[in-house]
Amino acid sequence: MKVRMADRRQILGLGMAVLTGVALPGQVWAEGSPADDPKLRFINVPPLLLPGKERYAFIRLVMQLVVRKTEQLPAESALVTAYMPRIVGKLTEELPVDGSLSRNSGPNELADVKRHVRNLANDIIGQPVVEDVLITSLLTG
């Protein structure tokens, strides 16, 4: 008799789990929306080696582009990744001429560089997709 009660409880528990699963909306089943994926939102820029102001000096700049958080995040992230070679080429051309990066660069100069990179990336892409720029490493030598 006890065996049958345990079986009934398991069957009822399984039935309740199925009914609960059917009643939940589709978003609850997902692990997270694409807008929550940091791999799509934070795009690494290849390290830029730029000439410094002094002879034999160099600047190594590593940064990430932050894509805005919208419903079309996968498409916008793919768009930024597709335009990455052109963005890197323009940055390599324009940042040394700008002269704002040096060994003595402060917060204001770095904010100007971030603003310049964000505006350049958005101009190349043709829409305001890049929300912010994170400078992860600035090495001068």
Q: Which fold has domain 34-140?
A: Tetrahydropterin Synthase; Chain A (3.30.479)
Q: Does residue 119 carry a pLDDT above 80?
A: yes
Q: Does residue 114 carry a pLDDT above 90?
A: yes
Coil, helix or strand at residue 124:
helix
pTM, to two decimals: 0.71
- 4-8, 42-46, 117-121: lowest mean pLDDT where? 4-8
- 57-61, 79-83, 100-104, 114-118: lowest mean pLDDT where? 100-104
Per-domain boundaries in the chain? 1-30, 34-140
> What span, in angstroms and rounded, lies between the C-alpha atoms of 9 and 11?
5
- The alpha-helical segments, DSSP class H, found in 24-106 are 26-29, 38-41, 73-82, 84-98
